[in-house]
Amino acid sequence: MEGEAGSYEDVKPNVVAKQSNGDVVGDNGVGNLGSVEAPDFLSKKNFQNCSVATPASGLNSTSPAPSQLTIFYDGHVCVFDAIPVEKVREIMLIAATGAANSVDMKKVATDCATTSPVLTRSPSLQSTATATALASPQAQVYPTNRTPFCKLKELPIARRHSLQRFFEKRRDRLVNRNPYPNPSTPKSFDDTKANLSAATSSESGCFGKSPVAQEEFHPKAPAHVA
């Protein structure tokens, strides 16, 4: 998913979290982030207008002493006192995944088409898998798999199994991958095919061998196997 990784790096960060010693600049009397509710924009979990600096940029988490966290967001500044380092790391992680996902929410529709053409043609067994497969590299990139609503786009709109089978059979018809008739089976629905010139096929008298011959539930048999 290099395409997706590249896309969020291009976004200009307008949230910068800085940890430093310094005076408290007016805020809501918020002290330790761990014990008090986060500012509105974080709790709303709506990251559409927010992007977070990538961990590599703008963050200085190695300053000495119990330290101050300053967050610049959308023109506002919030400063929090006495934030332990682990908490800061958590915040940074949440913001990082949030930002990437918020960008993905906009981009995933186009990325779906561009990044994994092969996957969308997987057999019907993976009907839910095709789009979740698109999502899986995303899951691998980010360590926390648990960010809530920004990850919503991952779950695909599943098609019914019966419809998926129809789509496959339709594709097979279009690419003329129908099997040739089986001359050895009399009296069964085995022989009607688009490729044949014979009008009524009923030399055999049996149902046409549909592209998916013998189907088992898991896994799906390839269509061209007689």
Contacts of another protein in 61-100 (CB under 8 A): none
Under the binding rule (CB under 8 A), the answer on residue 206 touching another protein is yes
Name the one range near another protein by CB under 8 A: 10-18, 24-32, 52-60, 206-214.
Answer: 206-214
Map residue 148 onto helix, strand or coil.
coil
Q: Which CB, 89 or 170, lies closer to another protein?
A: 170
Contacts of 130 by beta carbon, 8 Å cutoff, 6+ apart: 119, 120, 122, 156
Write out the binding residues for another protein, residues 5-34 only, by CB under 8 A. Answer: none
Under the binding rule (CB under 8 A), the answer on residue 144 touching another protein is no
Under the binding rule (CB under 8 A), the answer on residue 167 touching another protein is yes
User: β-strands 67-73, 76-83: how paired?
Assistant: antiparallel
What minimum distance in Å lies between the beta carbon of 27 and another protein? 24
What minimum distance in Å lies between the beta carbon of 204 and another protein? 9
Q: Which CB, 16 or 133, lies closer to another protein?
A: 133
Q: Which CB, 82 or 139, lies closer to another protein?
A: 139
Q: Which CB, 18 or 151, lies closer to another protein?
A: 151
**Cβ distance 66 to 15 under 8 Å?**
no
Which contacts (CB < 8 Å, 24+ apart) does range 110-115 have? Answer: 111/1, 111/3, 111/4, 111/7, 114/3, 115/1, 115/3, 115/4
The neighbouring-strand residues paired with 52 are: 15
Under the binding rule (CB under 8 A), the answer on residue 120 touching another protein is yes
Under the binding rule (CB under 8 A), the answer on residue 146 touching another protein is yes
Q: Which CB, 69 or 100, lies closer to another protein?
A: 100
Contacts of 49 by beta carbon, 8 Å cutoff, 6+ apart: 74
